[in-house]
Amino acid sequence: MDYQTPLRDMRFLINDVLDFDGHYEAIESDASRELVDTILEQCARFAENELFPLRASGDKTGCSWNDGVVTTPAGFAEAYATYVQGGWPSIAGNPAFGGQGLPRSISLWVEEIMASANMAWTMYGSLSRAAINAIDSHGSDDLKATFLPSLISGEWTGTMCLTEPHCGSDVGLLNTRAEPHADGSYRISGTKIFISSGDHDLADNIVHLVLARLPDSPAGTKGISLFVVPKLLDGALNGVVCGAIEDKMGIHGNATCTLHFEDSCGYLVGHANDGMRCMFTMMNEARILVGTQGVCLMELGYQVSLQYATERLQMRSASGPKSPDRPADPILVHPDVRRMLLTQKAFLEGGRVMTYFAAQLSDIAHRGSGDDRASAERLLDLMTPIVKGFVTETAFEAVNHALQIHGGHGFIRETGVEQLVRDARITLIYEGTTQIQALDLLGRKVVMNQGKALMSFIEMIRAEADLQSGGPFASALRELADQWGELALGLGGKATGDVDEIGAASVDFLMYSGYATMAYFWARIARVASAREDDAFMRGKVKTAQFFFDRILPRANAHHRAALSGADSLMDVSASEFGHH
Amino acid sequence: MLPYMPPGNDIEFVLYDLFDAETEWAQIPAFDSFDRDTVRAIVTECGKLARDVMAPLSQSSDEEGAHWNDGVVTAPEGFKDAYAALAAGGWLGVSGNPEFGGQGLPKMLTASLEEMFWGANTNLWLYATLTVGAAICVDAHADEDTRRLYLPKFYSGEWTGAMALTEAHAGTDLGLIRTRATPRSDGHYSITGTKIFITSGEHDLVKNIVHLVLAKVPDAPAGSRGISLFLVPKYIPGDDGLLGERNGFESASIEHKMGIKGSATSVINYGDAIGYLIGEPNQGLACMFTMMNYERLSVGIQGLGLAERAYQMSSSYAKERVQGRVPEGSRVANTDADAIVGHPDVRRMLLTQRAYNEGGRAFSMYVGLQLDRAKYAPIEAVREKASGFVDLLTPVAKAFITDRGLECTLLGQQVFGGHGYIREWGVEQLVRDVRIAQIYEGANGIQALDLVLRKVLRDGGATVGELIDDIRQTEVPERYTAAMDEALNAWQEVTRWLCDSAPSDSNLPGAASVDYLDVTGHVLYAWMWARMAGVSGSTDKRYVADYYFAKLLPRYYSLVASIRGGSASLMEPSSDWF
Ligand SMILES: Cc1cc2nc3c(=O)[nH]c(=O)nc-3n(C[C@H](O)[C@H](O)[C@H](O)COP(=O)(O)OP(=O)(O)OC[C@H]3O[C@@H](n4cnc5c(N)ncnc54)[C@H](O)[C@@H]3O)c2cc1C
Ligand SMILES: Cc1cc2nc3c(=O)[nH]c(=O)nc-3n(C[C@H](O)[C@H](O)[C@H](O)COP(=O)(O)OP(=O)(O)OC[C@H]3O[C@@H](n4cnc5c(N)ncnc54)[C@H](O)[C@@H]3O)c2cc1C
């Protein structure tokens, strides 16, 4: 199996479609095109040479646990040391604590390049970035000075500890306790489960960001506070015990830990009972990152299945032999194999541009000012559940196509594609399941917000349609703009009459919104690319856009119908009637 | 883990209320002894075996996998005894020819038994299912002596069967195979070559394993017209059935796979192994086809069995797991959170599974019914019509049910949230075990191509038209007639459009095939649901039918639109552009 970083596509989207040059100027960053190019190229080399070779072996060996000590697969620690030496962890870090102060968008691309080569390995560093953001945005100066330099340099890694055995989606149920201590710190006790990178042998120390409850705090999510709890405190163990690691369907190379906090010393981040808000700083970025993981897996899936489709000879083309001198034609000639390839390409490159767009909004939300900043924040809020929910759902479909193109060989572990399916499956679950993203989108980001953010995005679609007036996609875009707005309005209206409507329509609405968003971006890509007909890469973009509108976008209609069909058929059934025969 | 729950009541509902098995079987002499009590006893016993003997070994077999050591393959722990129990109960001969010790049960019934076997333990049932297929093939094409020697051993479970078609460079395109059959002086053949992916090609459950091998005789025509079928036993039996010499083949290795880890998938090397020709030379593929209709339906049912298991596990989890507040009004007082079964979206996931599973059960048994009619109906016209429906519906049963099988096991997994990703809970295994069903017995893309090219275009849509007429003549409850009509019209129109457009676009069939198969499946399930709601006295079926019509049937709109999107957007890019 080979893997090559898709630098051409990344640059095309960065420079030609989303104009990051202009964007960086607007947010007053001195990131230049040359700098970005150098970073991407060097990172690509690192990922291809150091990380990709550990992808399959890491899956095969997995992590091991022995009496509280977690060992990562062979080679992971060495690769991590190279990563730290190369300065990769610090790209977007705060310069006051040793970071390079570059926009977050660049660190997302670095993440993408590495996770395409090895997702399980990359996760050890990903969670650090979330921890850094939370401490940097909400921590006291002391906390920042204590934790940020080592986290930003990568010498230490971070985690996010929300989930407990009885609470996942509903964080408000959590039981972990924090008792105030005389010196101003807290003593944390409780059990967290499913903590990614919760223990490992890559770094000197692990910094846990833990949600817990103070004594007498209000019930539910209003009584949750955020604490930073290091594994080692001044070099001594701090009562954080890894009780077990999970045996999982995929991402075997990343340790998913049960962590017991036994009177561990922790420090409050932000205000008491304000933990959820602080956590969301981490979570929003992490959600975009999970969307990116979907893109990464699709990229590798597309590359290997395309390669396989050009090499595997099986049956003749329906329109006459294409390789008459060989015993059969490459399966790439068959329409249905093309359908599977083009579907991957459409979701992959469409998903990629959606994550880059979110990264651009996130840059503005962090560095811009005034109205720009406020509207970027609103749009990012809207885009986040779409990127997390829709990109991962379509990514899962795409990697299954990659497997299917390999026929029976796809089912065999050594071929390496079935790992993509197993790895991709988690992206639909963690950081909030697809269902939770869907509720967030329709409930919070559309209905509660009276559709403001959605309307501003719909305006972008209309503007694109105007730009393309008379072109092949203009009328479809206009229809989408009308239909999407009406659908949101219709569901909002129904929701006031029946509280179940939001939940009943949510996933169909999320999928509809995803297809609509992707249609907008494919149209935009086609507009840019159609100016450069002489180039196969550009022609390919136009053709993929056409394929998307012909063959994929019609799916939006079915979601539209299902979303509007109401809650009754779901809610009439009583709990006991869900029983068996 | 939750015990497997055999869906016996629903099976009887489908048999008697939906398809009126009593009247149906009364017309067929071979079946007139199967009264209700007998059938109930069979379904109940089968369910017990599935629940008590097979299901408990499913998860452990996934953990342990099959073993290979220097050519010797060992099945996971417990399989040997469980297989012996299957054999002792006569379960391998249920659909066998009574002349040779089979029980000759109707396929409509055995389809439902298979669902329980697959659902309880796909890994174990794989050792058996190929025996059933091999027996069908031998019964249909082998000479009298061979049938007398082999069939009783298959039906009793003493020997198992294997199908050896695939080679490293030839899967879909069997015309490319290289395995050779050279005539020997004794009139038999000597088989040499390497087959890959051979399920149960080698194992330790029984004493003898009988391979059905596709190979080429000297001077055979190129391609699929030059393939012959051979019976190649591991130990060569005497006429008395006693085992003699070891034949010349062995397992060179077994595969490490995504799922069905308990089933041994072997690379088999044949080195001058003795093979007995079945049927005429160069007619091997045709011989295989007899059994293919049964095997493809069976693999479809694999998808159903695993999806049913996912529903059982996830519906039970959803009632126990408390998380979040359900919308006001339905809350339970004095609790912090509600069972997730109250969340509309969790219901969507459960109802989707339920709708596709019970729809799939009815549909697979309907195809079984058509197989029975095609074989046994006293009136020739009835046989012919049913045989046309079998050909039309087999690829749909294989691909649509297994595609839905993946969808439903994924939904079942999703209901478990993060726990669904952890092996211990057992639900992610269902996803890994069902994934293969979309690939073997002809990848689902190939099923779709078969449907469109051979079953629809070849007769200009006549068989589809005949089926649509049948559907229009069945009575369905008023509340579904409008939607049913609309769906049938759409199916009919898009069929006509395909038939009209295909002659001028050779790529169109392949471009439309998967979407077309999906449309077909969705409309047929709508028919099943409307009828089930009509004949059932309980609200259960009505709920699910309502849900199916509101939320799932609408999928055909977008599929039809995508079909009409044509082939240009697929075929325009040159091959090196990709
Ligand atoms: C490999 C792995 C790594 C993980 N890493 C981390 C980590 O690093 N840190 C961390 O804190 N957690 C982590 N998690 C936990 C993960 O985020 C949770 O599993 C996830 O949020 C879902 O919670 P749950 O498993 O409790 O499912 P539940 O919340 O029990 O959900 C079960 C089902 O009910 C649905 N549901 C729940 N509430 C509603 C509602 N109101 N409306 C509609 N549907 C609803 C869900 O969508 C889901 O389908 C990880 C999990 C795994 C498997
Ligand atoms: C676990 C396992 C068990 C198996 N058990 C057995 C067994 O017991 N006996 C046995 O003989 N075989 C067995 N097989 C093999 C299986 O039947 C084949 O893998 C399957 O038929 C597909 O063939 P292939 O793998 O060569 O894929 P290919 O034929 O190479 O197909 C690759 C892809 O190309 C597509 N494709 C090919 N031709 C066309 C076309 N003309 N138009 C459109 N699309 C096309 C296919 O749909 C597929 O997606 C098993 C395989 C596995 C993995």
Cα distances (angstroms) measured from residue B388 to each of A259, A578, B373, B495: 61, 37, 11, 17
Q: In three state form, how does the secondary structure of B490-536 look?
A: HHHHHHHHHHHHHHHCCCHHHHHHHHHHHHHHHHHHHHHHHHHHHHC
A439 lines ligand 1 (CB under 6 A): yes
pLDDT at residue B329, as a whole number = 63
Cβ separation of A503 and B578 shorter than 8 Å? no
Q: Which ligand is nearest to the CA of A401?
A: 2
Among A336, A345, A570, select the one facing B348 at the smallest CB separation: A570
Ligand 2, atom 47, residue with closest C-alpha: B445
Check pLDDT > 70 for residue B93.
yes
Ligand 1, atom 29, residue with closest C-alpha: A169
- Core vs surface per residue A232-258: b (16+ CB within 10 A) or e: ebeeeebbbbbeebbebbbbbbbbbbb
Cβ separation of B543 and A573 shorter than 8 Å? yes
Cβ separation of B345 and A507 shorter than 8 Å? yes
Residue A130 confidence class, pLDDT cut points 50, 70, 90: confident
Residue B330 confidence class, pLDDT cut points 50, 70, 90: low
Q: Is A274 helix (H, G, I), strand (E, B) or coil?
A: coil
Q: Look-up: residue for tokens 């969808």?
A: B407
Side chain identity at B323, as an amino acid letter? Q
Region B443-570: CATH code? 1.20.120
Residue A81 confidence class, pLDDT cut points 50, 70, 90: very high
What is the percent of chain B with per-residue pLDDT over 90, rounded to a whole number?
94
pLDDT at residue B290, as a whole number = 79
pLDDT at residue A190, as a whole number = 98
Averaged confidence pLDDT in chain A:
95
A395 Cβ contact partners less than 8 Å away, ≥ 6 residues apart: A293, A294, A295, A297, A298, A347, A348, A351, A424, A427
Q: Which two tokens stand for residue A230?
A: 């290091």
Q: Look-up: residue for tokens 């012919």?
A: B384
The residue among A478, A574, A464, A482 whose CA lies nearest residue A523 is A464
Alpha-carbon gap: B301 to the closest alpha carbon of chain A (Å): 18
pTM of the model: 0.94
Q: Is the Cα dihedral A115, A116, A121, A123 positive or negative?
A: positive
Domain boundaries, chain B: 443-570
- What residues of B are in contact with residue A574 (Cβ under 8 Å)? none
Side chain identity at A227, as an amino acid letter? F
Check pLDDT > 60 for residue A581.
no
Q: In a mutational test of the pocket of ligand 1, which residue from A70, A191, A194, A289 has the highest number of ligand atoms less than 8 Å from its CB? A: A194
Check pLDDT > 70 for residue A200.
yes
CA contacts within 13 A on the Cβ side of B338? 16
Query: H or E element: which one contains B271?
Result: strand B265-278
- Core vs surface per residue A266-304: b (16+ CB within 10 A) or e: bbbbbeebbbbebbebbbbbbbbbbbbbbbbbbbbbbbb
Q: Please provide the DSSP assignment of A26-60 as one string.
A: HTT----HHHHHHHHHHHHHHIIIIIGGGHHHHHH
Residue A374's CB: how many other CB atoms inside 10 A? 13
Q: With beta carbons less than 8 A apart as the criterion, state whether B209 and B202 touch.
A: yes
Section B438-443 average pLDDT = 96
CA distance linking residue A59 with residue A507, whole number of Å: 31
What is the percent of chain A with per-residue pLDDT over 70, rounded to a whole number?
99
Among B347, B431, B572, select the one facing A543 at the smallest CB separation: B572
CA distance linking residue B104 with residue B91, whole number of Å: 11
Residue B161 confidence class, pLDDT cut points 50, 70, 90: very high
Section A549-553 average pLDDT = 95
Section A61-66 average pLDDT = 98
CA of B443 to the centre of ligand 2 (A): 6
Averaged confidence pLDDT in chain B:
96
Residue A251 confidence class, pLDDT cut points 50, 70, 90: very high
The residue among A76, A17, A27, A5 whose CA lies nearest residue A366 is A27
Q: Which two tokens stand for residue B240?
A: 């008395």
pLDDT at residue B355, as a whole number = 98
CA A512 to chain centre: 19
A106 lines ligand 1 (CB under 6 A): no
Active site residue A431: yes
Q: Please provide the DSSP assignment of A57-123 as one string.
A: HHHHH--EEETTEEEPPTTHHHHHHHHHHTTGGGTTS-GGGT-----HHHHHHHHHHHHHH-HHHHH
Q: In a mutational test of the pocket of ligand 1, which residue from A157, A163, A193, A254 has the highest number of ligand atoms less than 8 Å from its CB? A: A163
- What residues of A are in contact with residue B543 (Cβ under 8 Å)? 569, 572-573, 577
Check pLDDT > 70 for residue A580.
no
CA distance linking residue B418 with residue B312, whole number of Å: 18
Q: In a mutational test of the pocket of ligand 1, which residue from B319, B321, B322, B323 has the highest number of ligand atoms less than 8 Å from its CB? A: B323
Point out which residues pair with B47 in neighbouring strands.
Answer: none
Check pLDDT > 90 for residue A445.
yes
Among B445, B561, B566, select the one facing A336 at the smallest CB separation: B445
CA-nearest residue of chain B to A322? Answer: B575
Alpha-carbon gap: A324 to the closest alpha carbon of chain B (Å): 14
Residue A98's CB: how many other CB atoms inside 10 A? 17
B20 Cβ contact partners less than 8 Å away, ≥ 6 residues apart: none
The catalytic residue among A377, A431, A464, A501 is A431
Q: Please provide the DSSP assignment of A300-338 as one string.
A: HHHHHHHHHHHH-B-S--TTS-SSTTSSS-BGGGSHHHH
Check pLDDT > 90 for residue A571.
no
Alpha-carbon gap: B379 to the closest alpha carbon of chain A (Å): 36
ipTM over 0.90: yes
Residue A515 confidence class, pLDDT cut points 50, 70, 90: very high
Q: With beta carbons less than 8 A apart as the criterion, state whether B266 and B252 touch.
A: yes
CA of B166 to the centre of ligand 2 (A): 8
CA of B240 to the centre of ligand 1 (A): 62
CA distance linking residue B156 with residue B128, whole number of Å: 11
Q: What is the DSSP letter of B280?
A: S
Q: In a mutational test of the pocket of ligand 1, which residue from A430, A442, A501 has the highest number of ligand atoms less than 8 Å from its CB? A: A430
pLDDT at residue A468, as a whole number = 96
The residue among A373, A367, A380, A361 whose CA lies nearest residue A27 is A367
CA distance linking residue A377 with residue A228, whole number of Å: 26
- What residues of B are in contact with residue A407 (Cβ under 8 Å)? 171-172, 439, 443
pLDDT at residue A309, as a whole number = 97
How do residues B183-236 score in pLDDT, each as one tens digit? 999 999 999 999 999 999 999 999 999 999 999 999 999 999 999 999 999 999
How do residues B111-151 score in pLDDT, each as one tens digit? 999 999 999 999 999 999 999 999 999 999 999 999 999 99
Residue from A399, A431, A435 to probe the interface with B (highest B Cβ count within 10 Å): A435
CA distance linking residue B138 with residue B159, whole number of Å: 14
A168 lines ligand 1 (CB under 6 A): yes
The residue among A264, A146, A257, A251 whose CA lies nearest residue A200 is A257
pLDDT at residue B289, as a whole number = 83
Cβ separation of B428 and A425 shorter than 8 Å? yes
B171 lines ligand 2 (CB under 6 A): yes
How do residues B452-509 score in pLDDT, each as one tens digit? 999 999 999 999 999 999 999 999 999 999 999 999 999 999 999 999 999 999 999 9
The catalytic residue among B424, B441, B475, B572 is B441
How do residues B368-404 score in pLDDT, each as one tens digit? 999 999 999 999 999 999 999 999 999 999 999 999 9
Q: Is the Cα dihedral B464, B488, B528, B301 positive or negative?
A: positive
Among A408, A422, A580, select the one facing B5 at the smallest CB separation: A580
- What residues of A are in contact with residue B319 (Cβ under 8 Å)? 575, 578
Of ligand 2's listed atoms, the one at least distance from the Cα of A312 is 30
pLDDT at residue A269, as a whole number = 97
Alpha-carbon gap: A475 to the closest alpha carbon of chain B (Å): 16
Check pLDDT > 70 for residue A506.
yes
Residue from A171, A500, A508, A510 to probe the interface with B (highest B Cβ count within 10 Å): A500
Q: Is A6 helix (H, G, I), strand (E, B) or coil?
A: coil
B163 lines ligand 2 (CB under 6 A): yes
A195 lines ligand 1 (CB under 6 A): yes
How do residues A25-40 score in pLDDT, each as one tens digit? 999 999 999 999 999 9
Cα distances (angstroms) measured from residue A86 to each of A39, A41, A47, A80: 11, 13, 12, 10
A499 lines ligand 2 (CB under 6 A): no
Helix, strand, coil shares of chain A as percentages rounded to 5? 65, 10, 25
